[in-house]
Structure formats: structure tokens, C-alpha cells
A and B are shown apart, each in its own frame.
Chain A
Amino acid sequence: MRNLRFVFEKKGRAAYLSHLDVMRTFSRSFHRAEIPLRYTEGFNPHPFISIAHPLSVGVTGSREILDCDVLTDDANLIERVNKYLPEGLKTVQLSDATRKVNEIAFAKYQLTLYYDNRDRLLAAEWLSSLFEKSYIPVMKKSKRGMVEINLAESIDKLKIDVVDDAFGDELKLSVLIKASPAPLNPRYLIESIVEDDLRPDFVRYHREGFLDMQKQSFV
């Protein structure tokens, strides 16, 4: 038995899959590839599969983490699994799951903000100053209803780039979001923008990967 760590990308049409969808899809891909898995014992056996900090529906990722217990010594599992995954899901790296996922300290996100026919340079300036504040209030849903949290406590190394590309009306925002005590959904960054003129018309969310306390790549 090996406890393996599949590093996978989730992009394109697969971006719209939920956490449970991704779990189910991987599990079925293992079946199709005839890779034997370790199952739980008990009345309703299911394979040992877990995904660290699952992505929300619509969010893409380059280096997502799935751990599972397999009962084979085959070294060629990446190709075997990838052959049976649907479009948009792909294993990019495979290793033993030695590091504990609770060593993940940050998630690195890139947000693309679209300002349709608006002055993105002005927006970039304003947003830079907004995210520099030491107290950025945002309302977050909790078990006890809506509570105000300070976004500034959860973000690190926020950087805004004005990129020149075909559209010419987008900003790239890269940021580290603390993974503990609870990973914060990056959409709160956008929700913290109260000024209507600064709110983008559309935001694309992408997670580049996970970092540890030393801000080194986790896998």
C-alpha cells in the first residue's frame, strides 16, 4: 500500500466541477485505469481519497493536491490515470504523500479583473491603496450569521499588474491567502471593494499552488 499525492491541474471545462465532482471523477478514473485502491472498512466502503483545500466551482488550479491510498507498485501511474481523466483534469506530478497537508500555509491565487470599457489604470491605483490598509472589513457568512472580518489579516504579498493583451481592459492581481486557521475564499477580495467604479465586471480566479510557512512551494 502506498499513500500517494497526485498533483493535478483543473482547468477549462473542468473548472465548473465541484469538489465532490472532482473526487468522484478521480475515483472513477482509478477504476477505469484498474488501479486498485484501499477502501474503508465498515458497512459502506469507499476509497481513501482526499483533496486539500478544495476549489470552488468555476475556479481553476495548476497544482491541486489529491491524496489516496493505492495497492500497486506500478511506477507509471501518471500516464495510466491521465488516459482516463476527462478534459481539463490532468495529473502533473506524483509523489509519496509524506508532508502533511496541514503544513500548507498559503495558497497563491491569481485573479484577472475585467473592466469593460473603463479606466483600468485608475482602478489599479485605487485598488493598490485599498489593499494596503491594515483593516479591510468584509462581511463573511458564518454559523452565527454574517460577521465582519478583517481581510488584511488573511492576505499577503498582494500585487496588481496592468497587463497589455488583446482585451486591454484587464488587471492581474496576485496574492497569497493564508490557509489557516481557515482558508479564505478569494472572492472576499472583490467583495471588500465597496466603490462601484472599482468593482470589476468579471473576475477570473486561478490558484497557482500552495506554499509552506517559508513561502516555498509545498509540493
Chain B
Amino acid sequence: MRLSDLFTLAFNNLRRRKTRTFLTILGVVIGTASIVVMVSLGLGMSQMMLKSFQSEGSLTIIRVYESYENRENNSKNKAQYELTDENIDMFSSLDHVISVSPSIEVNVSAKCNGYDGSFTICGVSQYYLSQLSLREGGTIPKNDQGQLSLIYGNQILYNSFYKPSSYDSIDVDPDKDTIFITFPQSSYTEKTNKTADESTVSKPVKKYIFPVTGIIAGGKEDWSSNSYNAYADIDTLKRFLRKLYKKALVPNPRTNKNGKAYNYYVYDTAYVFVDSMDNVKEVQNTISDLGFNVSSNMEWLESAQQSLNMVQMVLGGIGGVSLLVAAIGIMNTMMMSIYERTKEIGVMKVLGCDMADIKNMFLFESGIIGLMGGIAGLMVSYLISYIINFFTSSGSNDTVSMFIGYNDGGSLSYIPPWLAVFAIIFAIAVGSIAGYLPAVRAMKLSPLAAIRNE
């Protein structure tokens, strides 16, 4: 039998019993729509979460700190666990690592228009600087310059300067306002040079003005892990600090057993850039096994996503149950249809209709029920999804974002194309599977049913 004939036969048979077909399809519509809407909620939530994590900082960066235990431990090979240049180089040689940036962090205080402020200047590598997203027109400081220049985090402009008396914060515009920066006193004094050191204390603290090459992208309401810091090129910063702190290199250097400051850099933090999100975990474990403390946003994302997966499974399960009920409905309809058409099937067999054709005819019928239910269910899903997003994005924004934790403009319900395609294929598959048993039963009916006269 031709496919087109099979299809027409199946379609006409469904049309013969419009009400029953409609009701069966309605079951599939509800089943499909509930699965699609539930999954779309899960996907939307996970997408919103990913967005909110991404806005807080890159997901492919691992932060490495010196382990606290190793710091206390005074063993000989202490340097093995310090964030030295050697270790930074070692990190860069790991698989999947694109670049490693050490970070020298100096807490500075600043004054602007009579307001006080404080923030941290982070000296980082050129690669790190190039990863920062700046406001339009901003450039990153060049490597190893004579003059230190800074990138300001956007929140420094809005949230870091206070009137000492009232704690009123003010907005600062680095283009117009001059920011005077003072570096902290060195905590380190060379014993041999005590008198000279005392004389420096009495000196008035020097104020610096640095050119600003850029501002981290974002306005008053945008926060990210970079918002509260100022960034500088690490080599330029090192050069600058050497002038300021001489042999100590940094404001509060570590000392060896003799009380002398280290003559090499030990960084506070190292940032490891990994090539893709999938490899973050692996690299993180490797570095952790070397004896360092590590953290990454990926960790948070993973644990959050794990719990969200759970939610997604529960939601999908609820949808699945209704589709299961719809499948039973299809089966029931097909069974009834076969009992009604026993004689007709018998006649077809007597007249030479292949067994496979009879089976396929019934499979087509249930498949068409699945297909129509799937398409209609998908349309209903898009409608429900639109309504959900409409209400969550405007009207009751506060309550909903409170309920789900965050809402930064993403949509709560998200139906990607693959979900739409999957839903229809799934509905057809459910229809065909539910119709399989009745179809086989129809195929096995005796042709003698045609002869019997009731």
C-alpha cells in the first residue's frame, strides 16, 4: 500500500469520530504543553542564573590563594606553596590554561573634592587587563611604563567616596575631578636603618595623581567582581612600588627568619584563565592538589545548577505524568476504535490488505493524534510562556524576583528551538508507542470476523 493511501485512510478514520479524536488530542495537548512549559521554566531559570553569574565575573577564571595551613607551616620548602613567579609559570604550563595573572594588591586611600575614599589597586597582567570590559573609549594601561595609570571600577565612582562626618557618598567623575591617592606606610623597617626610617615617618605623606585610561563597563546599578577595584599593569606597579618601598618591594612584605624582607614577590592572588568552562573543574582540582586554595565562580554555578537540575527534573516529571496520562488516553481510544472496526479490519484482510499495512494504518492514526497534539501543545506552550514572561518581567516584578532569587531582565520561561522540535517528535513518539499495542492487536485480528454475521 502506498504511504499516501495509508495516511489518507488513517486521517479519514480519525475524521469519522471527530469528538473522540478531539478529546484524545486534547489530552496530548495538555501533556505536551505541561512538559514544554515545565522544561522551559527550568531552562529559563538556569539561563537567568548563568547570566547573573556571568555578570558577576567570568566563569573561566580560577582564583588561587596561598593555603592558610601552608602559610603557618614553617617548613623549609615553604616557597613551594607561595604564589611566587615560579609557581605562576608552573600554572601557565598546565593543560587548558590560557594565561595566568598574578595580582599585587595595594590598599590605598584617596581624596576627592574633600571626600575620603579607599580602594584596592590590583596590579595584574596585560592579559587580565585585556579581559576587562571597559566603558566605551577606555584603553588598558600599557606594559611596564614609567608612569602608573589606572582603570577604575565603576563602583569606585559611585560608592567609594564618603564625607568622613556624615557618610554621605558622592559620585565622582574621573574626567573632571582629581583623585589624590596616598599609599600606605610600609609595615617593614630595616633594623640596620632605624634612624633613617624614623625620619621618613615624619615626612608628609605624598599624594599622587594618576591618569585614568578607562572605567569598567557598567553604571551605578551594575556590580561585578571588578567593580570595586582599580587596575594597573603589574610591571608598571612593581616599578612604582620599588621606588616607594625600596627593597621591601611591597607595603607589607613577608620576612624571612632573619627578619629581612623577601627579595622576591609573593602575590596575594593569582588568576588562572582556562580555555573553556568545561575544563575549569579539572584545572581547579590540579591546582588544589598542588597545595593551593582555589575558588571559581564555576563552583558556585555548578552547585547552583545541580540543585536547579533537581528542580528541572521534578518539573519535567510533573509534565511527564500528564503526557503519560495522555498516552493512556491514546491507547484507550485506539483500542475502542479497533473493537468497533473489527469487522472492517477483517474485510480488509479478506480482500488482501497486508498485515503490516493494517498495523501501519493504526500507527499512523495514533501518530497523527500525537503530531496534532504536539503542534497544538507547542502553540499553547508558547502562549503560556509568553504570559508567564509578561507577568514576571513587568507587573509583579518584585514578588517574582524575590521568589526565584534574581531577575535581571532574562525570561523566566524559555523555549529554545530544540525544545520545540523535541516536543513534537516526542509527542509523535508517544502517540506511536501508545498506538503500537492496539496496532499489533488489530493486525492479529482474524479475517473470519468479516464473515460472521451479527
Q: Does A associate with B in a complex? A: no
- Enumerate chain B interface residues (CB-CB to A < 8 A): none
